[in-house]
Amino acid sequence: MSYEIIGITVLWTFLYGYLIVASIDFGAGFFSFYSVLTGHKNKVHWVIQRYLSPVWEVTNVFLIFFEIGLIGFFPDSAYYYGTALLVPGSIVIILLAVRAVYYAYNTYGISNNGNLVYMALYGATGLLIPAALSTVLALSEGGIIEERAGHVVLKWAIFFSNPYTWSVILLALVSVLYISAMFLSYYAHKAGDKTAFEILRGYALIWSGPTILASVFAFFQINRQNPEHFQNMLHSAWMFIASLVCYLGAVYLVWRKRHLGWSFILVMLQFAFAWYGYGRSHLPYVLYKYVNIYQNFTNESMATALLAAFLAGFLLLVPSLVLLMRLFLFNARYIRGNSPKRGS
Amino acid sequence: MSLSDPILMSRILTGLTLFVHINLAAIGVGLPVMMALAEWRGIRTGDPHYILLARRWARGFVISVAVGVVTGTAIGLQLSLLWPNFMRIAGRAIALPMFMETFAFFIEAIFLGIYLYTWDRFKNKYLHLMLLIPTAIGSTSSAYFITSMNAFMNMPQGFTLKDGIFTDVKPLVAMFNPATPTKVSHVIASSYTVSACLLVAIAAFSLLKGRGHVYFKKALKLAVVSSFVFAVATAVIGDFSGKFLAKYQPEKLAAAEWHFDTREQAPLIYGGILDKNNEVKYAIKIPYALSILAGSSPNTKVIGLNEFPKENIPPLSIHYMFDLKVTNGVMLILIPFIYMLRKRIPGMRGAVPKWLLVLLVALAPLAFVAVELGWFFAEIGRQPWIVRGYMRVSEGATTSPNVSWMLLLFVLLYLVLCVSCLKVLGKMFRNKSVEEELQELYPGGERTS
């Protein structure tokens, strides 16, 4: 494999990591708020909090890692995306800021009851951020970012009137809720919390339908937006079929209330197949026709240094993440809430 | 000054984000060390006061980390959004430290999360304490990596510039440039100092308010002694930085000292104003001091501003930043020193009088202002360059016309964040007094040693 392919695969994998972790996080924020509104607060709120608390900081890092890595490996993408995304990017920063900060205030700062305004902020940003972030995928297909007379411009009119933009936003919204509900059902089940499980299982099943519809819709919109990419996707058709099979399996298991761990693994596989299939067929472009992984790659010495740093960092990161998961995600005593919940 | 000038607006917005971020970043780097100190003492002596100290510090720390992560994310993304041309070109040489910084940040985030949720979870108390080691290593090395990138911008090397593109890049040479050692160690030492000073101020404030519990006295002592040690280290490294500037970035030192003619036995100028003919007035002149600062000997030749073309000279206002920062630094050493000597000062008899408590409270603002001024001095002193000698600030900025709107948005955001952060922190500690918490933690009555 060439450095270019390894580089983009590493980045794509981190973005995949972000997709899963952030979806759980974003969706959980929304469900947490929703449960307060519908009077289910005491049934699901604590399960959600217990999962979120130790991991909220880690989520952000995946995103930054991707951004810095992208610029490291493909410096020209900074020029195109950086210039074009000033406004949407700044708005995403603000949403992320509001979300993270008010989460921390609510969890550590205020008394145990929580603050409805903070929770509303948390829930709303949980849906807005994925919607905003996903639009970068629409931009990457080309036709929306243009370079004119040495200036990079984002054509807002085309951006907003483009059905593909909206299909991506829709897909992001529903899959966030779906991934999150699937995970939380598993988590609640493990915690032995039957009431929370029933509610969360309901959410998971409700959101599974729209997820698959939105996926199919987005799939065919790519054909209109970028036929070349769509043709490439057809060459990797087996990946999308595998994704569908995993989806069916995951929903079936949740419906039958069996093997929920496996069900979530199937959800992860479902998105992995679709994500890598989409990414693979997008190559060689990072931004259609402007940034190409081969022509806009960084110099070789930097590439080797980055990959070496990545390898070293990865060897530190994986055991740490495993430790985090063993202490909190897969520790029955902690999940059931027998361990002290807070640092206070 | 024009609101539609993307270069100026980008500078202001970047400056603003960093202005907010460095306070929190400094706390982020320094506080884990202080928490570790307190917890270690607590475990070793079996004194519950120190354990509670670590717990309360940790709780406040989480809030500042939350805001720090947010502003850090902002600057991470803003680098590409506001300076796309800079990132496109310089990214070829300095992506490595930025990339490594994210790993360090990852490790810090993971272990801090574990630390906060595992009090009382391990039988061996040292296990919990050990979680702070990767946290502190993570935060300190993230300061290391990101500062080495900044050092590169001051002292670029490890590449050749060919047709506007950095080629023949040697990433490690770029990362370990001559500015790295002094800059990084100064940043780390001053972060430790700021954190210790903040804790001094909190403890002193509680004592001033009449909360006489022995807990606060212990907190004060631990924090003051630490801040003294860190402040002295910062000053010593600051002296090395002066020598570094004299050798590698003489125009910055000369601008800071209003030193126009190259000469030996150069005096250090403190305060004063410049008139139209660049004559220094009303300043205190310390003979030979600049030469000593630059090269440890009064006969060191210090290069003056007249040797440089006008368009490459940084703004002369950095003189005031330099002076004020050094003044603050001296205070940060003096005030703790008075506290530590109090038993020998006649009339004090070891008690901490009110006026000294007021001075100790002042340590926090003094330290934060010193950090801000230090960064202002370092950054404005690099003007007009973004990569000194290679790329001007104007060549690196975005061309987008919308920066002024974003600036407005971020001003609002930071105002809301800072005000709410202070409010939440205040509320958190007022909600539960130390006495109540000790009751909760050690219901059988406290055993102090």
Higher pLDDT, A178 or A45: A178
Percent of chain B with pLDDT over 70: 96
Peptide bond into B384 cis (omega under 30): yes
Percent of chain A with pLDDT over 90: 0
Nearest chain A Cα distance for residue B92, angstroms: 6
A56 — phi, psi (to 5°)? -60, -35
| Residue A152 CA: distances (Å) to CA of A49, B28, B74, B201, B445 | 43, 37, 22, 49, 68
Most confident of A239-253, B5-19, B390-404: B5-19
Q: What is the largest CA-CA distance in chain B?
A: 75
Q: For position A113, what pLDDT does the model report?
A: 56
A325 vs B: CB within 8 A: no
Are residues A323 and B114, on separate chains, in Cβ contact within 8 Å? yes
Whether the per-residue pLDDT at A2 is higher than 60: the answer is yes
Instruction: For chain A, give percent helix, strand, coil, nearest 5.
Output: 80, 5, 15
Query: B410: which chain A residues are within 8 Å (Cβ-Cβ)?
Result: 90, 94
A234 vs B: CB within 8 A: no
DSSP bridge partners of B274: B280
Whether the per-residue pLDDT at B189 is higher than 90: the answer is yes
Interacting residues of B300 by C-beta distance below 8 A, sequence separation 6+: B246, B264, B266, B291, B292, B294
Neighbouring C-beta atoms of residue B254, cutoff 10 Å: 28
Restricting to B residues 357-396, those with a Cβ less than 8 Å away from any Cβ of A are none
Q: Look up tokens 């903040």; give the residue.
A: B198
Q: What is the DSSP string of A169-205?
A: HHHHHHHHHHHHHHHHHHHHHHTT-HHHHHHHHHHHH
Whether the per-residue pLDDT at B350 is higher than 80: the answer is no
Restricting to A residues 103-142, those with a Cβ less than 8 Å away from any Cβ of B are 103-105, 108-111
Whether the per-residue pLDDT at B363 is higher than 60: the answer is yes
Nearest chain A Cα distance for residue B421, angstroms: 8
Pick from A211, A214, A217, A221: nearest CA to A248: A211
Residue A340 binned pLDDT confidence (cut-offs 50, 70, 90):
very low
Whether the per-residue pLDDT at B373 is higher than 80: the answer is yes
Q: Say if residues B399 and A80 touch (Cβ distance below 8 Å).
A: no
Whether the per-residue pLDDT at A163 is higher than 60: the answer is yes
- Of chain B, the end-to-end C-alpha distance in Å amounts to 63
Please write the tens of the pLDDT for every residue from B21-64. 999 999 999 999 999 999 999 889 888 888 888 888 888 888 88
Whether the per-residue pLDDT at B449 is higher than 80: the answer is no
A64, A76, A109: residue with CB nearest B63: A109
Are residues A86 and B398, on separate chains, in Cβ contact within 8 Å? yes
Residue B6 binned pLDDT confidence (cut-offs 50, 70, 90):
confident
Measured CA angle at A69 (ends B190, A100), to 5 deg: 60
Chosen for mutation from B20, B81, B440 (greatest number of chain A CBs closer than 10 Å) is: B81
Q: For position B328, what pLDDT does the model report?
A: 92
Nearest chain A Cα distance for residue B393, angstroms: 15
A101 vs B: CB within 8 A: yes
Whether the per-residue pLDDT at B448 is higher than 70: the answer is no
Q: For position B34, what pLDDT does the model report?
A: 92
Nearest chain B Cα distance for residue A258, angstroms: 30
Restricting to B residues 107-146, those with a Cβ less than 8 Å away from any Cβ of A are 107, 109-121, 134
Average pLDDT over residues B161-190: 85
Q: Look up tokens 């709410």; give the residue.
A: B420
Q: For position A338, what pLDDT does the model report?
A: 54
| Residue B253 CA: distances (Å) to CA of A199, A214, B182, B241, B282 | 66, 61, 15, 10, 20
Please write the tens of the pLDDT for every residue from B296-332. 788 888 888 888 888 888 888 888 998 899 999 999 9
Task: Calculate the average pLDDT of chain A.
Answer: 79
Q: What is the DSSP letter of B167?
A: E
Give the 3-state secondary structure of residue A148: strand
Are residues A301 and B95, on separate chains, in Cβ contact within 8 Å? no
Neighbouring C-beta atoms of residue B262, cutoff 10 Å: 15
| Residue B100 CA: distances (Å) to CA of A61, A64, B253 | 12, 12, 31
Pick from B226, B256, B251: nearest CA to B238: B256
Q: Look up tokens 């030492």; give the residue.
A: B189
Q: For position B4, what pLDDT does the model report?
A: 73
CA distance linking residue B198 with residue B402, whole number of Å: 38
Percent of chain B with pLDDT over 90: 24
Helix axes A3-37, A300-324, angle to 10 degrees: 40
Residue B228 binned pLDDT confidence (cut-offs 50, 70, 90):
very high
Restricting to A residues 50-69, those with a Cβ less than 8 Å away from any Cβ of B are 53-58, 60-61, 63-65, 67-69
Pick from B258, B261, B371: nearest CA to B324: B371
Query: A75: which chain B residues are within 8 Å (Cβ-Cβ)?
Result: 87-89, 91-92, 95
Residue B187 binned pLDDT confidence (cut-offs 50, 70, 90):
very high
Nearest chain B Cα distance for residue A332, angstroms: 14
Query: A309: which chain B residues are within 8 Å (Cβ-Cβ)?
Result: 96, 99-100, 103
Residue A343 binned pLDDT confidence (cut-offs 50, 70, 90):
very low
Pick from A169, A26, A152: nearest CA to A87: A152
CA distance linking residue A333 with residue A336, whole number of Å: 5
Q: Look up tokens 């049934």; give the residue.
A: A43
- Of chain A, the end-to-end C-alpha distance in Å amounts to 50
Question: Which residue in chain B is spatially nearest to A314 when comparing CA positions?
Answer: B103
Are residues B425 and A57, on separate chains, in Cβ contact within 8 Å? no
Q: For position A114, what pLDDT does the model report?
A: 60
Q: For position B201, what pLDDT does the model report?
A: 93
Q: Say if residues B225 and B336 touch (Cβ distance below 8 Å).
A: yes
Average pLDDT over residues B327-350: 83
Residue B443 binned pLDDT confidence (cut-offs 50, 70, 90):
low
Structure ipTM: 0.82
Pick from B175, B181, B183, B182: nearest CA to B159: B175
A309 vs B: CB within 8 A: yes
Q: For position B14, what pLDDT does the model report?
A: 92
DSSP bridge partners of A227: none
Higher pLDDT, B185 or B120: B185
Q: For position A344, what pLDDT does the model report?
A: 36
| Range from B170-179, B242-251, B385-394 carrying the lowest mean pLDDT | B385-394
Please write the tens of the pLDDT for every residue from A286-325. 777 777 777 777 777 888 888 888 888 888 878 887 887 7
Are residues A302 and B402, on separate chains, in Cβ contact within 8 Å? no
Q: Which amino acid does the sequence have at B365?
A: P
Chosen for mutation from B73, B115, B436, B440 (greatest number of chain A CBs closer than 10 Å) is: B73
A75, A109, A342: residue with CB nearest B87: A75
Neighbouring C-beta atoms of residue A319, cutoff 10 Å: 11
B73 vs A: CB within 8 A: yes
Q: Which two tokens stand for residue A100?
A: 């993270």
Q: What is the DSSP string of A248-268?
A: HHHHHHHHTT--HHHHHHHHH
Most confident of A77-81, B215-219, B270-274, B391-395: B215-219
Q: Say if residues B249 and B260 touch (Cβ distance below 8 Å).
A: no
CA distance linking residue A44 with residue A32, whole number of Å: 7
Are residues B66 and A105, on separate chains, in Cβ contact within 8 Å? yes
Q: For position A335, what pLDDT does the model report?
A: 67
Q: For position A80, what pLDDT does the model report?
A: 83
A72, A78, A343: residue with CB nearest B117: A343
Are residues B76 and A67, on separate chains, in Cβ contact within 8 Å? yes
How many beta-carbon pairs under 8 angstroms link A with B?
233
CA distance linking residue B83 with residue B291, whole number of Å: 37
Query: B95: which chain A residues are within 8 Å (Cβ-Cβ)?
Result: 68, 71-73, 75, 298, 302, 306
Whether the per-residue pLDDT at A192 is higher than 80: the answer is no
Task: Calculate the average pLDDT of chain B.
Answer: 85
Whether the per-residue pLDDT at A274 is higher than 80: the answer is yes
A76 vs B: CB within 8 A: yes
B115, B399, B428: residue with CB nearest A109: B428
A307 vs B: CB within 8 A: no
Q: Length of chain A, please?
A: 344
Are residues A81 and B106, on separate chains, in Cβ contact within 8 Å? no
Residue B417 half-sphere exposure toward CB, CA atoms < 13 A: 31
Whether the per-residue pLDDT at A104 is higher than 90: the answer is no
Whether the per-residue pLDDT at B445 is higher than 70: the answer is no
Q: Which two tokens stand for residue B116?
A: 């906060």
Cα-Cα-Cα-Cα dihedral sign, residues B323, B326, B332, B334: negative
B306 vs A: CB within 8 A: no
Q: Which two tokens stand for residue B442?
A: 């050690």
Query: A87: which chain B residues are within 8 Å (Cβ-Cβ)?
Result: 400, 402, 405-406
Are residues B117 and A327, on separate chains, in Cβ contact within 8 Å? yes
